[in-house]
């Protein structure tokens, strides 16, 4: 699109200026010919896209994934720089004096700054206001997170997970969250990081966590929303332990029914049938009596990992509700009061499970319980499905001489149990319990056993995060 005429070399002192002058003239002519700058840039983008598209056919799978990774890194870098620029805009738009805004007080940022940013980016005033607030808060409270984003080690979703997950904390406590979650953030999914942030928030502010839980619990409710195609959504806001118990009871009841409906359909139908009186638990249990092979529909299992000092009230350290994440100490003690306690012995250095106590002992069942308690979730590195719902699998295949023993067993959800058998995929087991998953293109990601140290290590005072000179958030 842009053709530059060749010219004999000019003297060194003026050569570069002559070339720039010639190129600028050709560039302006090309822009005029294209119908303006926007049209010229669009045409250039199409031409570059065609060239890249044509070149993809010659690229190997590994090279293609490498390019995707590099483009993702660049996208992260540019997004982080945009956030840094938005924070600078906020600094350049100081607060309005009294009488300028609609409220009778001085504001920390100009009332018109969100309109200015929204006009430039095509955003609503509310969205632009959120961008300004988020950028300033990341820069002032979480400088390490912003640097990691600028380096391409984390993405916007993970930076936002730290920002949004700490909105309930005062600034001095919010700063203390960063050193607790940032080291592992590059290797976590956004969902895993959100769970880590929730746990860190409970650690730096345990009393506040118990208070916030009581306030949220007081707002428990059931709501209904209209959906498309004659459907609606019924939503219940419950304590996490109750919600997990309800879900798994529904799942067990649904599995006790054998028909052509999917598991999701059976769960949904059971909610309506049980609440409307079309079906009772007695009906379901009668079915179990007729067919003892069906799973029992009574009793449900909710796993809460909690330190003994928290159970006895000597500590306010958070607990871990498997399948959900961290929960406040008060809720953990409430769940334990009605539950069955099981002793877990862990390695104080690695946090890996060493022993899993049982009141009765049957080797196959004990082994399965131990492996599921050791792993807690599916052992694919980015999966969070509960191990108790997963399939135990031999790392070294049974057909190839693998033993049914703790080091040779791992819990995988159904999808990832199938994935590891796909051509090109490999799972490498290490002596310390780590699993390295290797994709067909050579990319590797490591999965580790569940770390029990947060529930067994002595409580340490959390130091405040680093202070920043960037000033307070704008609102």
**pLDDT (tens digit per residue) in 129-142:** 999 999 999 999 99
Residue 12's pLDDT band, with cuts at 50, 70 and 90, is: very low
From the list 421, 431, 373, 363, the residue with the least C-alpha distance to 397 is 421
What residues have CB less than 8 Å from 191, skipping those under 6 apart? 384
Q: Is the pLDDT of residue 415 over 80?
A: yes
From the list 377, 336, 314, the residue with the least C-alpha distance to 241 is 336
CA distances from 162 to 169, 234, 353, 433 (A): 12, 30, 29, 29
Give residue-wise pLDDT tens across range 262-285: 999 999 999 999 999 888 767 665
Mean of the pLDDT values across residues 306-328? 84
Residue 11's pLDDT band, with cuts at 50, 70 and 90, is: very low
CA distances from 326 to 161, 164, 179, 315, 334 (A): 15, 16, 18, 15, 14
Six token digits for residue 293: 């092979």
Give me the residue spans of the domains in the chain. Answer: 12-58, 63-204, 232-290, 304-456
Length of the chain: 475
What pLDDT is recorded for position 55? Answer: 67
Mean of the pLDDT values across residues 75-85? 97
> Is residue 128 within 8 Å of residue 120, measured between CB atoms?
no
Q: What is the pTM of this model?
A: 0.73
Contacts by residues 379-383 (CB-CB < 8 Å, ≥ 24 positions apart) = 379/410, 379/411, 379/412, 379/416, 379/435, 379/447, 380/412, 380/413, 380/416, 380/419, 380/437, 380/447, 381/187, 381/437, 381/445, 381/446, 381/447, 382/189, 382/192, 382/445, 383/413, 383/415, 383/416
More confident residue, 24 or 458: 458
φ and ψ of 436, to 5 deg: -105, 115
CATH of 63-204, one of 1.10.10, 1.10.150, 3.30.70, 3.40.50: 1.10.10
């Amino acid at each position: 699109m842009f053709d530059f005429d060749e010219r004999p070399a000019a003297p060194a002192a003026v050569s570069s200026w002559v070339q720039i002058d010639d190129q600028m003239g050709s560039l302006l002519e090309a822009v005029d010919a294209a119908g303006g700058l926007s049209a010229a840039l669009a045409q250039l983008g199409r031409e570059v896209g065609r060239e890249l598209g044509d070149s993809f056919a010659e690229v190997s799978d590994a090279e293609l994934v490498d390019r995707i990774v590099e483009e993702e890194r660049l996208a992260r870098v540019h997004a982080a720089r945009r956030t840094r620029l938005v924070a600078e805009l906020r600094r350049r738009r100081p607060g309005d004096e009294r009488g300028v805004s609609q409220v009778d007080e001085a504001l920390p940022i100009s009332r018109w700054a969100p309109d200015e940013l929204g006009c430039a980016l095509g955003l609503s005033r509310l969205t632009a206001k959120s961008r300004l607030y988020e950028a300033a808060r990341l820069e002032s409270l979480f400088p390490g997170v912003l640097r990691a984003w600028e380096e391409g080690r984390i993405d916007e979703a993970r930076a936002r997970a730290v920002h949004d997950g700490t909105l309930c904390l005062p600034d001095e406590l919010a700063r203390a969250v960063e050193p607790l979650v940032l080291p592992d953030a590059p290797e976590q999914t956004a969902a895993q990081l959100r769970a880590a942030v929730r746990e860190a928030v409970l650690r730096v502010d345990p009393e506040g966590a118990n208070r916030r839980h009581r306030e949220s619990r007081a707002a428990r409710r059931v709501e209904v929303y209209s959906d498309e195609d004659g459907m609606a959504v019924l939503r219940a806001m419950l304590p996490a332990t109750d919600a997990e118990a309800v879900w798994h009871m529904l799942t067990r009841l649904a599995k006790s029914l054998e028909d052509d409906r999917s598991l999701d359909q059976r769960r949904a139908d059971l909610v309506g049938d049980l609440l409307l009186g079309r079906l009772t638990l007695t009906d379901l249990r009668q079915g179990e009596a007729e067919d003892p092979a069906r799973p029992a529909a009574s009793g449900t299992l909710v796993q809460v990992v909690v330190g003994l000092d928290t159970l006895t009230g000597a500590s306010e350290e958070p607990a871990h509700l498997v399948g959900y994440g961290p929960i406040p100490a008060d809720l953990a003690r409430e769940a334990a009061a009605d539950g069955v306690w099981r002793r877990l012995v862990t390695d104080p250095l690695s946090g890996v499970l060493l022993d899993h106590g049982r009141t009765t002992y049957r080797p196959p069942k004990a082994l399965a319980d131990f492996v599921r308690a050791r792993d807690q979730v599916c052992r694919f590195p980015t999966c969070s499905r509960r191990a108790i719902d997963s399939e135990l699998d031999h790392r070294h295949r049974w057909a190839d001489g693998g033993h049914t023993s703790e080091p040779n067993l791992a819990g995988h959800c159904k999808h990832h149990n199938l994935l590891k058998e796909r051509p090109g995929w490999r799972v490498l087991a290490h002596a310390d319990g780590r699993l390295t998953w290797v994709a067909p293109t050579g990319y590797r990601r490591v999965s580790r056993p569940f770390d029990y140290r947060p529930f067994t290590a002595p409580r340490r005072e959390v130091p405040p995060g680093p202070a920043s000179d960037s000033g307070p958030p704008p609102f």
